[in-house]
């Protein structure tokens, strides 16, 4: 791992993500970058006569200028505080759409990992717009760890990898192996059986053992877990074994396919109290 990106909006969740990223960067001696995206207001203010309210527009500009200066000072302070850390640290402020800014930075620095805070979303809000975190999870070309509460890197010793152990899973397991090696963690491979997607236990275990052998996995165990839905099964199993991190592959569907089929990975990211590692199929 050579570079970690942390989207940072100065929220408590973003701070949790930043703390975890610092520990991971220290363990791997890689580059750590913080990006803060300032969203520029685009809505014009009109009075009752349909005329642009210049006073409101002027006030907005003053507020934006003051906020930009404040963020610059905060970022500079962070850089100074990390000058003697065992990893290269840098910050960036960009302007525009938050997701677009994060996606651009992932590409620009060729990030190997994104660590970001998440508050989760549900219901109509999730269906219509989704959060910036969801969009990053859905589209990122590198793994993403989403964080909602404090978590220490040294405390991540039990990783639950929920999968169907098909060819798609093989495309992401090598990235998870790198994280496992960095943390010295155990991976629990779990196949969730549901009424709508049931597989004989013997068949599942055979596939999982073949998966372990084909991908040269070590320090792993296997489990078959029954639940009403895959999302519920993943969350319930992680709770049962007191997992430190949930790991999943995501298909990265967009548009109509996403609205119709949704994404189990994104649902888990929204609902899980634990940090979640995701990676899109390549």
The CATH number of the domain holding residue 102 is 3.40.50.620
Same domain, 72 and 183: no
Question: What are the backbone angles phi and psi of residue 66, rounded to the nearest 5°?
Answer: -65, -40
34, 6 contact by CB (below 8 A): yes
Of 140, 187, 194, 190, the closest CA to residue 165 belongs to: 190
Same domain, 11 and 129: yes
Same domain, 134 and 210: no
What is the spatial distance between Cα 107 and Cα 136, in angstroms, rounded to a whole number? 12
Q: What is the pLDDT of residues 75-95, one digit of tens each?
A: 999 999 888 888 999 999 999
28, 57 contact by CB (below 8 A): no
Per-residue confidence (pLDDT) for residue 85, from 0 to 100: 87
Which parts of the chain have pLDDT scores under 70? Answer: 41-60, 120-130, 252-262, 282
Same domain, 253 and 131: no
Q: Last residue of a domain, which of 113, 139, 165?
A: 139
Is 275 a member of any domain?
yes
Is 101 a member of any domain?
yes
Same domain, 72 and 188: no
Domain tally, the chain: 2
| Domain coverage including residue 77 | 3-44+48-59+62-139
Is 148 a member of any domain?
no
Coil, strand or helix at 63: helix
Per-residue confidence (pLDDT) for residue 253, from 0 to 100: 53
Same domain, 135 and 227: no
Same domain, 166 and 230: yes
What is the spatial distance between Cα 183 and Cα 178, in angstroms, rounded to a whole number? 9
What is the spatial distance between Cα 89 and Cα 81, in angstroms, rounded to a whole number? 10
Per-residue confidence (pLDDT) for residue 36, from 0 to 100: 93
Of 233, 168, 223, the closest CA to residue 196 belongs to: 233
Same domain, 99 and 129: yes
Is 144 a member of any domain?
no
DSSP state of 93: E
What is the spatial distance between Cα 69 and Cα 189, in angstroms, rounded to a whole number? 48
Q: How many CB atoms lie within 10 A of CB 181?
A: 11
Same domain, 194 and 129: no
Same domain, 127 and 9: yes
Return the percent helix, strand and coil in the chain, to nearest 5.
Answer: 45, 25, 30
The set of residues, in sequence order, having a beta carbon less than 8 Å from that of 195 and lying 6+ positions away, is 228
Is 201 a member of any domain?
yes
Is 252 a member of any domain?
yes
Strands annotated E in the chain: 3-7, 31-38, 88-95, 113-117, 144-147, 158-162, 186-193, 220-226, 245-250, 276-280
Per-residue confidence (pLDDT) for residue 210, from 0 to 100: 94
């Amino acid at each position: 791992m050579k570079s970690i990106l942390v989207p940072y909006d100065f929220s408590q969740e973003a701070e949790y993500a930043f703390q975890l990223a610092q520990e991971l960067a220290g363990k791997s001696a890689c580059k750590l970058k913080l990006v803060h995206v300032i969203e520029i207001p685009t809505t014009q203010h009109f009075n009752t006569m349909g005329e642009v309210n210049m006073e409101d527009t002027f006030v907005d500009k003053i507020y934006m200028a003051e906020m930009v200066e404040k963020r610059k000072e905060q970022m500079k302070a962070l850089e100074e505080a990390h000058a003697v850390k065992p990893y290269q640290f840098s910050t960036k402020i960009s302007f525009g759409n938050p997701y677009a800014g994060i996606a651009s930075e992932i590409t620009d620095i060729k990030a190997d990992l994104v660590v970001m805070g998440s508050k989760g979303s549900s219901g109509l809000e999730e269906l219509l717009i989704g959060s910036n975190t969801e969009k990053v999870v859905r589209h990122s070309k590198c793994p993403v760890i989403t964080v909602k509460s404090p978590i220490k890197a040294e405390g991540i010793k039990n990783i639950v990898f929920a999968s169907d152990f098909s060819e798609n899973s093989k495309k992401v397991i090598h990235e998870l192996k790198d994280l496992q090696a960095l943390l010295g963690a155990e991976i629990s491979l779990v196949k969730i059986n549901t009424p709508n997607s049931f597989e004989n236990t013997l068949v599942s275990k055979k596939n999982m053992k073949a998966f372990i052998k084909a991908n040269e996995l070590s320090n792993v165990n296997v489990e078959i877990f029954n639940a009403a839905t895959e999302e519920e099964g993943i969350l319930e199993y992680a709770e049962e074994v007191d997992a430190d991190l949930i790991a999943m592959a995501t298909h990265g569907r967009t548009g109509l396919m996403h609205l119709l089929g949704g994404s189990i990975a994104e649902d888990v990211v929204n609902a899980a109290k634990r940090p979640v590692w995701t990676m899109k199929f390549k």
